[in-house]
Chain A
């Protein structure tokens, strides 16, 4: 047998190995249990002692050399394999397209949750109201300036003594009649006004009405509930003040201001230099309204309040124009 030609063949074949699998096959073919090298050892078994020694050493040296070469090549091939699977973790992550909830949806939910935690149920009233619920039930009789079509009244009128509700307050008597007392509800919803639109006025916007009717409800309770609400909503202790006001359906009536968030109460153009921003209308439910709700005002009394969800959302996100909410503009909506 020609050991040299075998060496030559092996060297040549090794040069052609391109990947780990081929290397494994190559290694088995020559160095395996039934490999070519074994066969050579079997052949020299019968040789003379001296000759066997020389040949044996030569083959062993060759095998050791070959094993080294295989090991080296294995490493090279493995590195190559890792190279092809390697990832660049420093590249920017893929941009994920998400959907968006309208800011008024989020703010409304947040408001609802705060009141729910204080034991108020969330209910809704109809957007098309009859004049009785929108006006009469709230001590706004026929002929009252607030019902006038032309100037003072900002109500949008429909046919057959129907209107688009101008506030969420008509739901007060609806739910007193429906659910009785004691009663704790908030009524969020869309309201409608005859308005020239500008940065702070819209023809439709959202209000949330609150109503608590029980046997012993006071101005102090109204203060407690609203203070807690504002604190939760703005995530900090809020300075608030109650000012006298007038609504036909509450007595006493209040307007409630919070300390201006822009100037912290020092006075700036946003708060007309007063340091305060009006945020809520409220009051103790007028006994006639309790009566209109089918309850006995001698037994039951309560408080009610109303505020604009749009306004709270504008304050929360520092939005300067109410009309963005109804623009359908994705440049605006995708920010939320």
Chain B
């Protein structure tokens, strides 16, 4: 809201503080001031009126009331007095309201006006406040809107067919040519102001050409109405037509304001465009808005604000806001809320009023007195943070990517994704089902500047689940593979094992999916994969699965002082048998004497036979009780080989 400083001052006998100072006071007690600008003969304040105060503060009167309440100043109001003529309004016009979204429709008629430019000083004021002067009738309507906050409209009486105004819903495919010459097609949810034949204006939003005021206009019909805010807001947004009128009607304007505004408008038109006011006012106002009542408890006020504001100070602040005390009990008041404060509904609304006028700077800073209670630590959060630390140790850099993917990724990776109904662009039409596509993009991009790229990301990915959309936490990463691909792959595989071990995951199994990819299993449950895309290898771990198997627990393993003995075994098995299976059987056959186990060779190829592989292990034998003699070790080794061959078809190589 652009507010003229001199206009504000006209509401007071004593001058207000300087513009900059006033802006600061309003910022601290009412609304933020974005800027103060010097204009022709004046200053303007750009005030960011809060959305719940649009009903009374999109006006100079409203802002002046704020100044009066904060600074405890007495206001003076313009004197509104009009002399009516002899002709009666009912002989001129009938008004029929057929739409419940019109809460009040008030109208006056002025005959014999002389349409022309409005006074220079008025034109300057309008320009300073961001409006273009048009003619004395329209300018008067705009002036009163800026002054009191009530949007008003003037029709050329002679252009109204049937001498009747009807407030109704638009007919299907009805259209209207607006004052800016744009044609607008309406639908049956849109409320219009019409005569017997056609729509003259879109209610609460914009007037039409049909009954526009022109230099030839002799008699004007002045409309001052009240509409349901939601209806106006929705229409304005639907038509993408936001006007000074709609911006005000979208808020809770005081329906009781229409009459005052209409009289003020008539007064100014008489002053600037001459003419004669027809006797009487048409006023369709079926349900009158009455002042509200709110009970205010001082104990709640003090509890919420955390400061004891004395009763008399509270009453004083309320009266400065136009709120009257109807009755008083020991600790509470019943208050009468003026109808221009439609935003005050519950006690807490009033407490906010008292708090802000009193000044939040007077509220002390007090740490709360708290009760302790046990808080469950989030396991997911704990392990995600741990995983981040481990990956950082391994030299990975953490990236954050968007949660969105576009058609490009959809086609490239053949993804099935949840769609966003109102995406911001074609690059962000879908919810990511995986972190890998954008990590792959990151790797390719960064390879322009770096020889080696190692990155990871944790974040939510999304998937359809009948009527719902599921989400889960993923941990993914990527490494570039400029040099030795196998080395790069095995390094990554080792890093994933390291990561999982650090998270306390016990049984990790990698299974070959195809040439360039592996699947990762934890305790037999599929947890993730490693894949190759272009110039990089990427891994993906389902953190929700991982967490189930992760553990912070550690147990001390007794350190033996007896010497260990190392023996090697080599053999041939089917390639389908995993290293983890072999290890498990070796431990089984070792009967507690296998202290360490390490694979030192895996070979597939000529001399071994198709579908088979050769595997070699170092086995470390050690006992907690005694030094193992050669005989015991030989016996144990034979037992291991027996278990391997019986259960997994192991053929020992000599």
Contact = CB atoms under 8 A, between A and B. Distances in A.
6 contacts: A99-B397, A127-B403, A182-B370, A197-B424, A203-B404, A244-B31
Contact of A272 (B34, B373, B380, B402): B34
Interface of A: 97-102, 104-105, 109, 118-119, 121-124, 126-128, 143, 145, 148-152, 156-160, 162, 164, 182, 184, 190, 192, 194-197, 203-204, 212, 214, 216-221, 223-225, 227-228, 241-246, 251-255, 272, 284, 286-287, 301, 325-326, 328-331, 333-334
Interface in B139-175: none
Given A242-B363, A251-B348, A101 B392 contact: yes
Given A99-B454, A156-B422, A241 B397 contact: no
B399 interface: yes
A239 B519 CA distance: 55
B398 A109 contact: no
B355 interface: yes
B348 to A, nearest CB: 4
Given A123-B378, A224-B367, A245 B50 contact: yes
Contacts of A190: 403, 459-460
Contact of A158 (B27, B375, B395, B418): B418
Given A162-B469, A328-B438, A244 B364 contact: no
Nearest to A152: B237
A224 B398 contact: no
Contact of B363 (A157, A219, A253): A219
B348 A287 contact: yes
Contacts, number: 224
B556 to A, nearest CB: 30
Nearest to A126: B471
The binding surface of chain B is classed by DSSP as mixed
B307 interface: yes
Contact of A223 (B32, B366, B375, B404): B366
B248 to A, nearest CB: 14
A196 B428 CA distance: 12
A194 B420 CA distance: 11
B397 A333 contact: yes
Contacts of A157: 420-422
A145 B235 CA distance: 11
B589 to A, nearest CB: 40
A72 B237 CA distance: 102
Contacts of B514: none
B524 to A, nearest CB: 28
A142 B621 CA distance: 72
Interface of B: 27-32, 34-35, 50-53, 230, 233-234, 237-238, 240, 250, 303-307, 346, 348-349, 351-352, 355-356, 360-361, 363-373, 375-376, 378, 380-381, 385, 388, 391-404, 418-424, 428, 431, 438-439, 441-442, 445-446, 449-450, 453-455, 459-460, 462, 467-469, 471
A213 to B, nearest CB: 11
Contacts of B398: 99-102, 105, 333
Contacts of B445: 328-329
Given A99-B454, A184-B370, A223-B364, A244 B30 contact: yes
Contact of B449 (A100, A122, A143, A331): A331
Contacts of B450: 330
A26 B307 CA distance: 99
Contact of A156 (B30, B351, B423): B423
Contacts of B230: 143
Contacts of A151: 237, 240
A143 B234 contact: yes
Contact of A214 (B34, B368, B388, B455): B368
Closest 6 CB pairs of A and B: A220-B306, A218-B306, A252-B352, A328-B442, A99-B392, A121-B375
Contact of B303 (A218, A328, A329): A218
Nearest to A127: B460
A154 to B, nearest CB: 10
A224 B460 contact: no
Contacts of B349: 251
B395 A330 contact: no
Nearest to A276: B27
Nearest to B438: A328
Contact of B424 (A128, A152, A194, A242): A194
B476 to A, nearest CB: 12
Given A109-B385, A218-B306, A127 B368 contact: no
A331 B397 CA distance: 11
Given A182-B371, A190-B403, A219 B392 contact: no
A119 B368 CA distance: 11
Contacts of A223: 306, 363-366
A203 B428 contact: yes
Contacts of B471: 126-128
Given A251-B346, A251-B348, A220 B307 contact: yes
B418 to A, nearest CB: 6
Contacts of B428: 203
Given A124-B381, A204-B403, A214 B370 contact: yes
A124 B230 CA distance: 34
Given A99-B391, A99-B395, A220-B307, A246 B52 contact: yes
A223 B306 CA distance: 10
B461 to A, nearest CB: 10
A329 B400 CA distance: 10
Nearest to A109: B385
A244 B469 contact: no
Given A99-B397, A246-B52, A328-B399, A212 B420 contact: no
B366 A218 contact: yes
A272 B27 CA distance: 14
B403 A286 contact: no
Nearest to B382: A122
Given A225-B367, A326-B401, 18 more contacts: A99-B397, A145-B250, A151-B240, A158-B421, A204-B403, A204-B404, A217-B368, A218-B304, A220-B364, A220-B366, A223-B365, A224-B367, A241-B360, A242-B361, A251-B346, A272-B35, A326-B402, A328-B445
Contacts of A255: 32
B394 A99 contact: yes
Contacts of B304: 218-219, 252, 284, 301
Contacts of B469: 128, 158-159, 162
B397 A128 contact: no
A156 B420 CA distance: 7
Contacts of A214: 368, 370-371
Contacts of A152: 237
Given A224-B368, A244-B30, A100 B392 contact: yes
Nearest to A221: B368
A292 to B, nearest CB: 15
Contact of A244 (B352, B401, B439): B352
B321 to A, nearest CB: 13
Contact of A105 (B250, B305, B372, B388): B388
Contacts of A220: 305-307, 363-366
Most chain A CB within 10 A, of B348, B403, B453, is at B348
A246 B420 contact: no
A252 B346 CA distance: 11
Nearest to B302: A218
A325 B400 CA distance: 7
Contacts of A287: 346, 348
Contacts of A128: 431, 462, 469, 471
Contacts of B348: 251-252, 284, 286-287
Contacts of A159: 418-419, 421, 469
Contacts of B51: 145, 246
Contacts of B365: 220, 223-224, 227
A194 B421 CA distance: 11
B468 A104 contact: no
Nearest to A325: B400
A238 to B, nearest CB: 11
Contacts of A162: 468-469
